[in-house]
Structure 1
Amino acid sequence: MINRTQIFDLAKDSYHIHPDYPWGKYPSYAVLRQHHNGKWFGLIMDISKDKLNLVGNEKIDILNLKAPKEFIGPLRKKIGVYPAYHMDKSNWISINLNEIDNLHEVRDLIAESFALTS
């Protein structure tokens, strides 16, 4: 299991970026955005499991990332990767942080999302 603090630390160490919390109504929703253009490359939200068609209503942390269109299908076949919640599903994926153990794999996906939004 990966937690949001690990993602924030990775963003800080790799890109010198700190999370932004733009919605007062959703104080735990954190945006990771490029400094030079303000575009999002990541979004962490706590949502109920049923939003990803999982069983249960308990809250989970997800990370939305942009991915190349040709990789979306294969990525969704991996454990913990889902069609993007509340984003364009042809360009974004949602990662259930509770199901992912490999921070290196997520680091690569974050790097890809960062590059795609540059």
Structure 2
Amino acid sequence: MQEAPFAMKKPNIAKLREFGFAENGGTYTYGARIAEGQLQMTVTITGGGDIRARVIDPATGEEYVLHRTSGAAGAFVGMVRTEYEALLTEIAERCFDPDVFKSACAREVISYVRAAYGGELEFLWKRFPGNAVWRREDTRKWYGALLTVPERKLGLASGETAEIIDLRADPEELAALVDGERYFPGYHMNKKHWLTIRLNGMVPAEEIFRRIDESYRLAAK
């Protein structure tokens, strides 16, 4: 079962332990009393990221499920539901790391930026967990954005989702590069100063790295 707060995230084992999860054979378990101590909530997470959350009534040993039952109402049900969701959200925020970008090309880019500039992606928008940016430490200006977008928003006749990178570029070079297949005007950026590259292997990694370097330089101004 994949609870909503954990979408696009992966468990950080060190953070799980710090939070108070107990490890047993690669499975991590955390328990807490909720509903003024009347119920026991247990969250179990495997190293692979599978998540299970249960609420047990200690008096009967039976699982309490009304908080997950559509249409169930009442003050007690509402209290259980609120505390259940709050604990899951807290665990997701404190014990999990973003795990959005899956392609080999995107992972290469992330590794390059980390090695070259010490840059880590910043996920700034809770409403858009598939969007993240890099920015320079000195100017705080963005020099790159890694995004997941429907390919149709790039003007492609496709229902697929693409992983893309937005980078700063010299306007004259940008105009010559855009071909509507590999290079596009900057998605959600100033189209005279930003370009978008699909991270699908059509543009060699070394070429993307060079353009990241150029974008980093341009963000110094």
TM-score (norm 1): 0.92
CA-CA distance at 1:28 after TM superposition: 1.9
Given that residues 130 and 148 in structure 2 are in contact (C-alpha distance below 8 angstroms), is that contact kept between their aligned partners in structure 1?
yes
Question: By how many angstroms is 1:79 displaced?
Answer: 4.8
Question: How far apart, in 1, do the equivalents of 2:178 and 2:157 lie?
Answer: 18
Q: Is the 8 A contact 1:2 1:101 kept in 2?
A: no
Secondary structure of the structure 2 residue equivalent to 1:56: coil
Task: Give the letter for the 1:58 counterpart.
Answer: E
Instruction: After superposing the two structures, state which structure 1 stretch, 76-85 or 88-97, moved more.
Output: 76-85
The answer to whether residue 181 in structure 2 is matched with residue 71 in structure 1 is no
- Does residue 97 (structure 1) correspond to residue 160 (structure 2)? The answer is no
Cα offset, 1:100, TM superposition: 2.5
Alignment equivalent of 1:32, drawn from 110, 134, 138: 134
Which residue number in structure 2 is paired with residue 115 of structure 1?
217
Is 2:148 the counterpart of 1:46? Answer: yes
In proportion to residue count, which structure has more strand? 2
Aligned CA distance change for structure 1 residues 64 and 79 (closer, same or farther; 3 Å): same
Match of 1:59 among 157, 161, 165: 161
Letter of the 1:34 partner, please give it. Answer: R
Size of the alignment, in residue pairs?
Answer: 118
Q: Report the alpha carbon displacement of residue 55 of structure 1 after superposing the two structures with TM.
A: 1.1
The CA distance in 1 between the partners of 2:144 and 2:183, in whole Å, is 14
1:18 aligns with 2:120: yes
**Overall identity of the aligned pairs, in %:** 27
Structure 1 unaligned segments of length 5 or more: list them: none
Tell me, in whole angstroms, the C-alpha distance in 1 between the residues paired with 2:152 and 2:178. Answer: 17
What's the TM-score, normalizing by structure 2? 0.51
Post-superposition Cα deviations, 1:57-95, rounded to whole Å, max 9, x if no partner, equal: 211001000001111111113851011111110000010
Gaps of 5+ in 2: 1-102
Q: Which has the larger radius of gyration?
A: 2
Higher RCO structure, 1 or 2 (CA under 8 Å, sep 6+): 1
Q: Distance in 2 between matches of 1:47 and 1:78?
A: 15
Any conservation in 1 of the 2:133–2:145 contact (CA below 8 Å)? Answer: yes
- Shift >4 Å, 4+ stretches: none
Alpha-carbon distance, 1:99 to partner: 4.6
The letter for the 2-side match of 1:72 is: L
Residues 105 and 14 from structure 1, CA distance in 2 versus in 1: closer, same or farther, beyond 3 angstroms?
same
